[in-house]
Amino acid sequence: MIAVTKTLPERIRVRVRDTGQASRLAVSRLDALAVAGLVAAAYLAGYLWSTDRLSVRAGLGGSVTVVDEPLARAFERTGQLQFEPVALVDLWVVRLLVSPIDVLVGATIAGLVGLNLALAYLALVQPRSCGLGAGAGAAASVPALLSGTVCCAPVIVIALGVQVSGTLLTVLPWLLPLGVVLLLGSLVYVGGLVDTENGRRVS
């Protein structure tokens, strides 16, 4: 038998293809889809809460306030990757500042986190004969958790009351893009670990 050594571009192409297949598997299985959906929803809520777009308190009543010219307001930046809210929605115990672009950014990251953990879940529930242990799933979840903390780093700095140096100030704006890159990296990593042939099951 002749061993075939793949070139780097080929290996990347194969890995991306495997990740695509694993992602399709994740959304085609009800259990994995449930993991992805629940995690993404929880993450999005956490993202909006930690960035002061969502709060929970008593006695709010029900009302909707929309700014004048919401389309123009929606594209005004308030932070590195934060934009003006265009509406304030009070739903008795929930107050939501609706910034369409913030929701889009949060939903994108939440989707990536959900998919990551769904793949990690698949890797965990697959039989050990596939060569996977619990460590693979845990390793895959680390970038997801990291991204969860970096998304709101400036808020955390205020909450913690630490003095920050110029270095950290330089780094802060890059933490969210870094989190997204890490999530994509971990998606490709764990996507390659999922056995898409044996992973299918009737749900």
Q: How far is the CB of 160 from other proteins (least distance, A)?
A: 5
Among the residue ranges 3-11, 13-21, 133-141, 149-157, the one whose residues contact other proteins (CB under 8 A): 149-157
Q: Which residues, 47 to 86, sit near other proteins by CB under 8 A? A: 49-50, 52, 55, 57, 65-68, 73, 76-80, 82, 84-86
Strands 77-79 and 62-66, bridge-based pairing: unpaired
Q: How far is the CB of 77 from other proteins (least distance, A)?
A: 5
Report the b/e string of 101-133 with b at 16+ CB within 10 A. bbbebbbebbbbbbbbbbbbbbbbebeeeeebe
Among 12, 38, 142, 156, binds other proteins (CB under 8 A): 156
Task: Compute the distance between CA of residue 44 and CA of residue 148 in angstroms, rounded to an integer.
Answer: 10
Q: 161: phi > 0 → left, psi -120 to 50 → alpha, else beta; which?
A: left
Q: Kindly calculate the radius of gyration of the chain based on its CA atoms and give it in whole angstroms.
A: 20
173 in contact with other proteins (CB under 8 A): yes
Q: Which residues of the shown chain bind other proteins in the complex (CB under 8 A)? A: 49-50, 52, 55, 57, 65-68, 73, 76-80, 82, 84-88, 95, 97, 149-150, 152-169, 171-173
